[in-house]
Amino acid sequence: MKEISELNLPDDIRYAEDHEWARLEGDRIRVGLDDYAQDQLGDIVFVELPQIGDTFEKGKEFATVESVKAVVECYLPVGGEIIAVNTALEESPELVNKSPYNDGWFVDVNPSDPSEMDDLMTNAECLEKLKGAD
Amino acid sequence: MQKETKKTPLYDWHVAHGANMVSFGEYEMPLWYPAGAKKEHLAVLTKAGIFDTSHMALVIVIGPDVFELLQICFTKDLYACVGKDKSPLVPGRCVYGAFLNESGKVIDDAIVYQLEHNTYMTVVNAGLGGEVARHLMAYRDRRNVEITDLTDKIGKMDIQGPMAARILMKVLVDPEEVFEDMLYFTFKGYFDEASPLADKVRLIDGTPLLLSRTGYTGEFGFEIFVDQSHLVKVWEMIFDAGQDFGLLPCGLAVRDSLRASAVLPLSHQDIGPWPFINHPWHFALPFNPNRTDFTKKFIGNEALKNIDKPEYTYAFTGYDLRKVSVYDQPIVLDSEGNKIGLVLTCICDIAIGRHGDRIYSISSPDKPENFEPKGLSCGFVKVKSKLDPGQVVELKDKRRKIKVMIVSDIRPDRTARCPIEEIIEQKEKRL
């Protein structure tokens, strides 16, 4: 397991309480699972993603991630319509472990209220929270 | 206040090697190492893995009346338990069974080893040494038996996988002699220098071991018992010897996935405080050949023969790798959608997959070309109605329903029973 100091928490993205991340890319928001979550879950063997066109409110369950050991839900950090899903995860769910912020992304969202991004944590805040919990 | 957890002598080694440590019973144990549970699972099927199992407990039972005490407390008939002919237990042989209470419910499952005439050792699960010792004590009556709980006094590690023998050959004194006649469920040597048995198995640095051809993965391998003070040294020696053979240290996650798909129960999850009968482990009970009665009397046998509302435990295999989460108390539904029971274990064996109407494992000799399994969910259910292999039921947790088939076996082509000479030869060819 990674020490908190070993976690990769980039500063260009925002973090939700349940360890989903969100990154503004033009007018869409890309969403995935952060380094802490993938490390805790261990080898991810399956990711169940929503359909393009589905809409979710902020905080609603939109994906299920299955590791060798556990099954967990993921909650959308910003509400909106799903406009892209990472189909590479169907064949290669391990991308979530290998590259949580790039190749292992989950979905792109067309946000209904982009300001919801502001409610999410910065990497510094996320780190503080993890240190507090440790 | 949080209960303080115990550490095995290998704790520092696990942490130094990046293990993800979790609390398991009273112990801090590795869940997986940096290689990850998938690679560890595959290593045991194709190469070898080592597991720290020193959290398990050991009870020594000695005395002129020990056989009689074990005969009434343990579910195996020690007069008739070895091999196909059901011969009596002899020194150097061990058997799997359970300790039950008067209601036929499980205190723990165990392996009983006959060390010498009137000297036995039983290996039980973490934290249960005391309870099993007290249970034996309670039924000792006037019998002349001495019961010693060696919990946390003995170091234990398992090496499992087809390369296990070849790895041990590098560290054992006279491995040919040690491996001679070493059938499944036999053992040699002893961990206490003072015993005359200790000379039977030694490492090249002189450390005496009890080497047992048993394990909890369904694959070829050994359980190794050493004096606790030697455990780290022995572990490191075997770890180093295994580096040329693809040996990986393995955590509890793969111990669970390997044992479940080998149809081995986890105590207090698949067997527990309910009657120990109508389950896939009938070989742990002293049945007569037609399974109409038991061949001996033992604690719990009356209760097992007189059950009001029987429940049945079955193994199942899914159609893809999706699981239900046992933490959500998933239920079993029949074809009409009626609740018929509970899911005891549900894991994913990532090394098996369906092809046509068969299941293959990555170590199946006849697997289809380019066979790359994604894994299948599997485990155990306990239901109130009798089911037959091939029947399909649904498992339901809060997020999903999955269809699974009731089966009599899960992971095919396991190596646990493979003759030792054969597996050494095969692996030599492959190297």
Tell me the fold of A12-80+91-129: OB fold (Dihydrolipoamide Acetyltransferase, E2P) (2.40.50)
Does residue B109 lie within any of the structural domains?
no
Ranges of chain B with pLDDT below 50 = 1, 431
ipTM of predicted complex: 0.87
Note whether B253 contacts A68, CB cutoff 8 Å: yes
Of B241, B258, B275, the last residue of a domain is B258
Q: Do residues B372 and B254 both lie within one domain?
A: no
Q: Provide the edge-to-edge strand list for the sheet that holds A71-75.
A: A44-48, A61-67, A71-75
Interface of B with A (CB under 8 A): 18-21, 31-32, 36-39, 41, 253-254, 256-257, 321-325, 347-348, 350, 374-375, 397, 399-400
Among B19, B256, B321, beta carbon nearest to A45: B321
Q: Do residues B250 and B387 both lie within one domain?
A: no
Among B19, B21, B37, beta carbon nearest to A43: B37
Q: Do residues B189 and B337 both lie within one domain?
A: no
Does residue B356 lie within any of the structural domains?
yes
Among B18, B19, B350, beta carbon nearest to A68: B350
Among A42, A64, A66, beta carbon nearest to B37: A42
pLDDT for position B3 = 63
Note whether A45 contacts B374, CB cutoff 8 Å: yes
Strands (E), B256-385: 312-318, 331-333, 339-349, 352-355, 358-361, 376-383
Total CB pairs under 8 A between chain A and B = 57
In chain A, residues with a C-beta closer than 8 Å to the C-beta of B259 are none
Does residue B271 lie within any of the structural domains?
no
Note whether A66 contacts B321, CB cutoff 8 Å: yes
Q: What percent of chain A has pLDDT over 70?
A: 99
**pLDDT class of A132 with cuts at 50, 70, 90:** confident
Note whether B37 contacts A68, CB cutoff 8 Å: yes
Residue B298 DSSP SS3: coil
Any idea where the domains of chain A sit in the sequence? 12-80+91-129
CA–CA min distance A68, chain B (Å): 6
Residue A83, judged by CB atoms within 10 A of its CB (0-12, 13-18, 19+), counts as middle
CA–CA min distance A71, chain B (Å): 6
Res. A133: pLDDT tops 90 = no
pLDDT for position B426 = 82
- Domain CATH code at residue B344: 2.40.30.110
Alpha helices in B76-194 (DSSP H): 129-138, 164-169, 175-179
pLDDT for position B429 = 58
pLDDT for position A68 = 86
Chain A residue whose CA is closest to B254: A68
Note whether B399 contacts A64, CB cutoff 8 Å: yes
Among A42, A46, A70, beta carbon nearest to B20: A42
In chain A, residues with a C-beta closer than 8 Å to the C-beta of B38 are 43, 45, 68, 94
Does residue B99 lie within any of the structural domains?
no
In chain A, residues with a C-beta closer than 8 Å to the C-beta of B37 are 42-43, 67-69
Chain B residue whose CA is closest to A97: B36
Q: What is the pLDDT of residues A16-44, one digit of tens each?
A: 999 999 999 999 999 999 999 999 999 99
Q: Cβ distance B93 to B82 under 8 Å?
A: yes
Note whether B322 contacts A66, CB cutoff 8 Å: yes
The tokens describing A35, both together, are: 């380094």
**Chain centroid, CA B125 distance in Å:** 10
Does residue B127 lie within any of the structural domains?
no
Chain B residue whose CA is closest to A98: B36
pLDDT for position A134 = 62
Res. A102: pLDDT tops 70 = yes
Does residue B413 lie within any of the structural domains?
yes
pLDDT for position B2 = 54
Note whether A69 contacts B37, CB cutoff 8 Å: yes
Count of domains observed in chain B: 2
Q: Do residues B241 and B322 both lie within one domain?
A: no
Of B226, B258, B290, the last residue of a domain is B258
Q: What percent of chain A has pLDDT over 90?
A: 90
State which residues form the domain around B407.
311-431
Note whether B19 contacts A1, CB cutoff 8 Å: yes
pLDDT for position A89 = 97
Does residue B144 lie within any of the structural domains?
no
Q: Do residues B202 and B346 both lie within one domain?
A: no
Of B258, B291, B325, the last residue of a domain is B258
Q: Do residues B253 and B317 both lie within one domain?
A: no
pLDDT for position B1 = 45
Note whether A68 contacts B20, CB cutoff 8 Å: no
Q: Cβ distance B43 to B255 under 8 Å?
A: no
Does residue B279 lie within any of the structural domains?
no
Per the DSSP assignment, residues forming a β-bridge with B327 are none
Q: Do residues B254 and B315 both lie within one domain?
A: no
H or E stretch including B20? strand B20-24
- Taking the CA atoms of residue A91, residue A94, residue A98 and residue A103 in that order, the dihedral angle to the nearest 10 degrees is 30
Q: What is the pLDDT of residues B193-216, one digit of tens each?
A: 999 999 999 999 999 999 999 999
Q: Do residues B228 and B345 both lie within one domain?
A: no
Chain A residue whose CA is closest to B38: A43
